[in-house]
Amino acid sequence: MSDPFALEAVDVALSPMERFEEYLKSKGKRITQPRRILIEHVFSHHEHFDADQLIDELSHHSKGSDRVSRPTVYRTLNELVEAGLLRKMEIGGRAVYEHDYGYPDHDHLYCTQCQQLIEFQSAELKELRDEVARQHQFRATGHRFIINGVCDECQKKSRRKKRRVDLI
């Protein structure tokens, strides 16, 4: 049985690297080896991350001349957001990034206990957004909807019967 809220694939004309190179050229900048390493790493998998997680992951994967400095990470993350490749969200007092280019509009469930982000798509929410925009003569170009709560796994943990060892 398929998930009615699952994200659908979006076809794109350029790879994230090609799109970023195009953006940098328009700003009179060039693609450097550290930027290339960072982009390849970020777009090799689809996960939400913050700058510190990315710096930690890159330090384990790159050595010597392939090392990506902390300032380069922060600067490049801002450029990737400006280029439309990443989306930045403020969640739980920290900046969290996710892929934006090549991914459909979607929303999130955020567990306030374990900080897990769960992505979902809802045609009903998009219709509601568009209807509210129409009522206010507003042209919606996107939205960001995050539902805060507690995930199933954390709920199960809190329902678990307390044992003597838990009191230590």
| Domains, the chain, with CATH or none | 12-100 (1.10.10.10), 104-162 (3.30.1490.190)
Q: Is the dihedral of CA 29, 35, 39, 42 positive or negative?
A: negative
- Residue 166 is labelled as binding a ligand: no
pLDDT-derived band of residue 75, with 50, 70 and 90 as boundaries? very high
Residue 61 assigned to a binding site = no
Burial of 93 (0-12, 13-18, 19+ CB in 10 A): exposed
Taking each helix axis from N to C end, the angle separating 33-42 and 16-26, rounded to the nearest 10 degrees, works out to 140
As a whole number, mean pLDDT of residues 93-104 equals 90
Sheet holding 107-111, edge to edge: 117-120, 107-111, 146-149
Residue 46 in marked binding region: no
**What is the average pLDDT across 23-43?**
94
Q: What is the pTM of this model?
A: 0.80
**Does the annotation list 130 as a binding residue?**
no
| 143 appears as a binding residue in the annotation | yes
Judge whether residue 1 has pLDDT over 50. no
109-159 pLDDT, tens per residue?
Answer: 999 999 999 999 999 999 999 999 999 999 998 888 999 999 999 998 877
Give the chain's mean pLDDT.
88
Whether residue 41 is annotated as binding a ligand: the answer is no
Q: What is the pLDDT of residues 2-30, one digit of tens each?
A: 566 666 667 888 999 999 999 999 999 99
